Amino acid sequence: MTNRILLSVGLLAAGIVGGVVIASTTALHVSPSFPYVSTTAHQFAFKPRTDDQIPKTPFGDMVRLGENIFRDPQTYAAKYVGNDLHCTNCHLQAGRLAGASPMWAAYTAYPAYRSKNGHVNSYQERLQGCFRYSMNGKVPPLGDPVLVALESYSYFLAKGLPVGEDAPGKGFPALAKPAEPPDYKRGGEVYARACASCHAADGQGQSSANKVAFPPLWGARSYNWGAGMTNVKSAAAFIRANMPLNLGGSLSEQEAWDVALYIDSQVRPQDPRFDGDVQSTRKKYQNTPMSMYGQTVNGAVLGDPAVTPPSGTVPATAN
Ligand code: HEC
Ligand code: HEC
């Protein structure tokens, strides 16, 4: 795609974003002609604080650094990042949007037990997992300014929420089980129709002037096989509530399941917990009926080192 076409797609997306911003300051759901089909997740009343409320103090500086990392970790946390994604690509509106796993709801939910690692995790430890898996990077040590900044930013957003209760809008709105088992072929059709214009037919996303305009959904520059988004259920829930961008709720539930399975049937960086054997790694860490890791798709075993980029590929120049 040429830069010119790419730019017009970008402007189109920006226009939609503008539409939502304007509409939401009035009342999103009163305009029947507005294309946005709101899911209940987006209607929760909690309003996280805005940038102009960040205090001009040393604490405020940390909050601002946290938001900068969240929006652009390649610049502000380069030595821990091994792909092209930003936190805000999945936690939309810089971690403020309900139903897109917002940081205010996350903050008040820790410390918490996680079955993923079998113990109670502090908030900083939860953040470490994001770097290891979603960012395909390296884990910042506890107490590292990168983690302190992200924690400060989340704390700032969460002001006014009760601690220890699941805030409405936390995570992604749950999806009912699909009527029919998710299907790769149907998912490919949804992808071509509703996703490829932005994320590209090959799933690698699109960049303009070295800036990622539309993030990669698979391939070496996307999240790895240990990431939460490789859970088809989580991906389906995220997609149904939030994609196509600003048209959340427009896919049917079945379409969301199908396209999530399609995305999670593609090549992506190795699970950093890989023990040298795909089936044994699947058994230890991915053993759910819907996980595609270790399954054969288009003649290749997903996770097979022969077709799988390595995990944790932080560039040597990032120090
Ligand atoms: C590829 C998408 C993606 C990217 C990029 C990503 N995350 Fe996440 N994140 C997820 C998913 C999926 C979950 C799990 C949501 C669930 O299952 O409830 C999650 C969960 C979290 C949670 C816990 C939320 C909760 O309610 O318990 C935090 C905190 C978090 N991410 C922070 C970050 C930070 C900080 C970054 C950037 C360094 C980041 N994430 C990058 C997809 C992503
Ligand atoms: C109008 C352009 C557009 C369309 C169409 C679109 N997306 Fe996205 N998508 C985006 C943008 C932009 C982001 C990052 C959002 C941000 O940073 O605020 C994103 C983020 C994502 C993410 C999380 C980040 C990542 O790289 O994994 C997933 C998953 C995703 N989209 C899936 C889909 C699916 C599935 C469809 C089709 C049903 C779709 N998108 C359609 C623009 C689009």
Q: Residue 52: give its domain's CATH number.
A: 1.10.760.10
Same domain, 214 and 296: yes
Question: Residue 207, exposed/middle/buried by CB under 10 A (0-12, 13-18, 19+)?
Answer: middle
DSSP-assigned letter for residue 126: H
Cα 172 to its chain centre, rounded Å, is 11
Which residues line ligand 2 at a C-beta cut-off of 6 Å? 13, 85-86, 88-90, 92, 194-195, 197-199, 214-217, 222, 229, 239, 243-245, 251, 259, 263
Q: At what angle do helices 232-242 and 253-263 cross, to 10 degrees?
A: 130
Same domain, 208 and 274: yes
Same domain, 150 and 202: no
For residue 175, the model assigns a pLDDT of 94
Within-domain flag for 168? no
**pLDDT tens digits, 110-146:** 999 999 999 999 999 999 999 999 999 999 999 999 9
Same domain, 194 and 294: yes
Same domain, 217 and 139: no
Ranges of beta strands (E only) in the chain are 112-114, 119-121, 206-208, 211-214, 296-297, 300-301
- Contact yes or no for 246/252 (Cβ under 8 A): no
Within-domain flag for 258? yes
Same domain, 271 and 231: yes
Q: Report the number of secondary-structure helices (H) and strands (E) in the chain.
A: 13, 6
Same domain, 147 and 188: no
Within-domain flag for 291? yes
Residue 309 has a CB neighbour count (10 Å cut-off) of 18
**pLDDT tens digits, 275-289:** 999 999 999 998 888
- The whole-number average pLDDT for the span 81-104 is 97
Within-domain flag for 318? no
Same domain, 213 and 277: yes
Ligand 1 atom with the smallest distance to the CA of 228 is 12
Ligand nearest to the CA of 86: 1
For residue 318, the model assigns a pLDDT of 62
Q: How far is the CA of 5 from the centre of ligand 2 (A)?
A: 18
Question: Across-strand partners of 27?
Answer: none
> Which position has the token pair 């037990």?
113
Pocket test of ligand 2: the residue of 217, 222, 264, 266 to mutate, having most ligand atoms within 8 Å of its CB, is 217
Same domain, 213 and 262: yes
For residue 280, the model assigns a pLDDT of 97
- Contact yes or no for 137/314 (Cβ under 8 A): yes
Ligand nearest to the CA of 12: 2
Within-domain flag for 283? yes
Same domain, 58 and 105: yes
Rounded Cα distance, 152 and 148, in Å = 6
Within-domain flag for 210? yes
- Contact yes or no for 268/309 (Cβ under 8 A): yes
Provide φ and ψ at 120, rounded to 5°: -75, 125
For residue 108, the model assigns a pLDDT of 96
Provide φ and ψ at 160, rounded to 5°: 100, -10
Rounded Cα distance, 73 and 223, in Å = 14
Rounded Cα distance, 218 and 216, in Å = 6
**pLDDT tens digits, 16-32:** 333 333 233 223 333 33
Ligand nearest to the CA of 261: 2
Nearest to 138 by CA among 150, 127, 122: 127
For residue 214, the model assigns a pLDDT of 98
- The whole-number average pLDDT for the span 204-214 is 94
Same domain, 139 and 192: no
Ligand 2 atom with the smallest distance to the CA of 260 is 35
Residue 99 has pLDDT above 80, yes or no: yes
pTM above 0.75, yes or no: yes
Within-domain flag for 162? no
Give me the chain's average pLDDT, please.
88
> Domain containing 193: what range?
184-301
Which residues line ligand 1 at a C-beta cut-off of 6 Å? 70, 73, 85, 87, 89-91, 101, 105-106, 109, 126-127, 130-131, 134-135, 150, 170-171, 223, 227-229, 234
Nearest to 121 by CA among 97, 151, 100, 92: 151
- Tokens for 40, please give them: 């209940």
Same domain, 141 and 198: no
Domains in the chain, number: 2
Q: Alpha helix locations (H) across 46-158? A: 58-71, 73-76, 87-90, 92-95, 103-107, 123-129, 145-157
CA angle 242, 125, 228 (to 5 degrees): 30
Within-domain flag for 236? yes
